[in-house]
Chain A
Amino acid sequence: MKKVIKLFVNGTEYETAVYPGTTLVDLLREDLRLTGTKKGCGLGDCGACTVLMNGKTVNSCLILALEADGKTIETIENLATGEELHPVQRAYVEKGAIQCGFCTPGMIMRTKSLLDGNIDCSGSEIKEALSGNLCRCTGYTKIIEAVETAREYLKGIEPEPLEFQPQKSAIDLSVVGRRLPKKDAPDKAAGRAMYTDDIKLPGMIYGRLLLSPVPHAKIRSISTDKAESLPGVKAVLTGKDVSDIRWGTSPARYDETVLAKDKVRFIGDVVAAVAAVDEKICNKALELIEVDYDELPSVFDPEEAIKEGAPRLFDEKYENNINTVVDHHFGDIDSGFAEADHIREERFTGNRTYQNPLEPHVAIAEWDRNGKVTVYTSTQVVHYVHHQLSRILDIPLGRIRVVMTNCGGGFGSKAATNYLEILSILLSRKTGFPVKMRYTREEMYLYGRGRHKQFIDLKIGVKNDGTITAVKQKAVLEGGAYSSFGIVSTYYAGSMVPTLYKFDNYKYDGIRVNTNLPPCGAFRGHGCPHPRFAFESLLSMIADDIGIDHIDIRLKNAMEPEYRTCNDLDIHSCEFTACLEKVKDISGWKDKKGKMPQGKGIGIGCGGFVSGAGYPIYRSKFPHSNAMIKIEEDGSKAVLFTGEADIGQGSDTVLAMAAAEAMGITLDRIDVVSADSDITPLGFGAYSSRVTLMGGNACKMAGDEIRRQVIETASGILNADPANLAAKNNRIYVKNEPDRSIPWEEAASAFFSFKGPLVGRGHYSPPEGLGGTYKGAAVGTSPAYSFSAAVCEVEVDTGTGKIKVLNFWDAHDCGTAINPMTVEGQAEGAVVMGMSETLFEDEVFDENGRMINADLHNYIIATSADIPDISSNIVDSYEPEGPYGAKEVGEGATLPILGAIANAIEDAVGVRIQELPITAEKVLNALKKKG
């Protein structure tokens, strides 16, 4: 029974009737439609739903609406006055503290209450105060800077502008290379940015999935009668109602069905789908579906799974549950080791980690009466969703529209089609209503696609001077029940190893093994972080063995420009050595390494990544990135249309900057429309760190075309040779005679008057023929590679084993940083996410394969109170294949972190942990063993 309550929200009195079980967050979001307040976990762990109740910060997901009766509530929507942002919001925007924006409203509300109470709070007080608001993108560093800046604004002080020296490659540029706030940041700060779950369509109903409660079973029968007769239920779908088509991520391993056909393979496998007028009824209906399972033996350990006689997940394929085999040999491994003066082999074990974007997956599907479906989704890859839906539904792309809304973080978890997208469409088709489906936090973990846990045997041979002569790596990837990206992950685990250091002899044996656990996929650094952890650890161990400094052994072998690796990958720009020198210098390495007091230590780790995969996920000849630009008839604004996905990393802004630079206009004169398959041209989306280089090239090309056309028009007005004209900062001028100029918009408007629409088009495909000819040679190819080095300083409590990461100094060769502020944001986020994975994170399953920490309470991620001081640096570099010389940073910056921490711990207390995560308990055990 509903009860009437009266509450004061943002100064307005509301009288409304609520069910006893309605929480405050649902009242705000669903009833009052104040969707600025976000829902990230529903269990009080993430803080995304933070609002002020009677002036105090609370998690609105753990407050009954009834308990808010008579209270005053303030939400993010109340902060800005008209168009003017609140000083806290302004500071968040200006300081680059907003990436995906999903934690932002809660974080800003917490900041406001903190500063309302204590305007003089210290840095450590800020870190402690924000620790109830989780952020997965920023590494909290820029958020803390924003709080400090807001503190000044509130005191009426305008802080000194940052001194900023552009990179050499950006000195002559006017937009690219500048630290500019993201275009989406103000709306995100104001709580106005629209995420999929914020959309409520007229007549919309809800869908939910029935997940398998058993790890491995044949389905004898399913009875849906009771569920279907429950009032409010509109449709129930089971395996027999859906197509037999197999789908997945890599075409060579399409092995998922829309709903379980005859078998379930893990706890969380999708068995049935229900649509009803609300989620409560959906949940009741799910309980009424009767599934008769014939349970089969299951297997969770890859070493067990490959044994003869182990339970098989697929009867018809993947013999011994081996899903993928890679057998690569380059150069001559035997002679390579024969040349070595010192050889060492060690085993390293990774951890099963999950991306945990703050925003849960959501999809809404709506069929129109002409047989076309529109799906709104929180995805990284509009095109691949579009393509896969077309396959599954067996209708052409033109009858499907995929619209990406704002996306509250991905990191690979949203880099493929998911069950919500498919089943919301099928339920919508069956019922005739728009259908919204959303995962709970627990369901996110069960849908999975996180990092494969790798078991790595690594052997490196070196000469006495540290020169690497041979590398042999064996990796076993625990893959879970389905393939997802796994085939590529298995290749990546090996193929990226030779890109950082030069060596000629390399053998890689990789297998991916299916188990009755949630499927693993692509997580930031795809396949590479565990092998890189192994390599960076072992290289430092070897350096100690032969008495060489850890940075010196890296300098000795460091990759150089214009180098073809032993596995046929072409490195072009490479400033890895500069990265190493930079971190050596700024960390005070020489005075610290091996010289710090017991319990404190310093360590180095390195990494790098592709700037976009050289080949698409499925075979296609389409350009990988495409762009269109349309200029307003009065020339006052450009609209950039791109299929690439801004998942918080800032690609809308970065692509707009590349296009604006090309056109000769300022960033405020360009708007971006992105990731809508009906409106924007194809872009493969945000995966493999491809958007800056590939999308940037396409957008620059479109901008160049616009510039040529306006200059052509301007040449008539200025009576000058077009070859002598340039466009910059919204003016077109005669080179060497800058006073002879006209406003950019005048030329653009004149063009429209003479010739009609002023448009530009651009596209980008990687160079043809990248990579070698051996099987799997495509994986690891890229137009360009990034390089990073990071030095870490830790303090270890020798009584408890607890590790405190004090400092990170990192340097990145990302070519020209199109927007240095967003590059820093990526790097800082990578440090903290990498640290969190290294120290805290691990999915844990019970003996039945049930994940026992599928929440943010027991699967812990770093809070603001855990972060080190981070000094992120960009070295001078120019990549000829990239737009204005740019390449990637987002994933490459993650890779150095794991090994750097392990090496620093070893330096601090003399113990080497080779199994992730590096918990306090493991450190203490190792200390005891060492005696």
Chain B
Amino acid sequence: MKKTTLYDVIAPVMIGPSSSHTAGAVRLGLLARNIYKNTPKKVIFKLYNSYAHTGKGHGTEKGLLAGVLGLKVDDRQIKDIFNSDIAKTLEYKFEYCDNFKYHPNAVDMTFIGDNSKMFISGESVGAGEIAIRKINDFTVKLTGKYNTVLIVYKDMPGMLSQVTSTMQYHNINIASLFCDRNAKGKQASMVISVDGELTPDIISTIEEIPNVYFVSYIEKLEN
């Protein structure tokens, strides 16, 4: 069930003109940045459907780029981001396409670094709310509302309980949990959103669990 809070209706303070096409775009960029962690060398944005068609009039491209560069939704630099100095630190490209299988306000972001490449797909679901639906090959659901940990591991019995017991040991309450796998016995992913924060030592304890391949701690968005 969706949980709308007081803050969702009398906030955020944001750069206009559209909560879904501008603020939502900034937040998608910001959350993708939190997932990728480092500053990439290049980002390719592929805008779908309504984002592709009406994005220009709403500053959607500006918002996405500003978010990837770490600007918040209320930052006045968004308006002229293409001419700003911080935009010169990054190579970027926009592509546009129609695909009815995608959400009307969807974007695929490909982050390219020196030795790494990450694919992140997300959508702006309305009123500035967003959801990251895919990271590389894994289906996820990230809203940026909670601190979240993404764990990629070998699909086998007992992995979930090892991770959750670590959290229990540290008195961390799990707000939501989502698991997926690409094939039986191959790679699997879990996305766990928590109340409060996960400290670096909890993250490293999870990293040390046998058959865990990759752990990424994704901090929630501020607003």
- Are A and B interaction partners? no
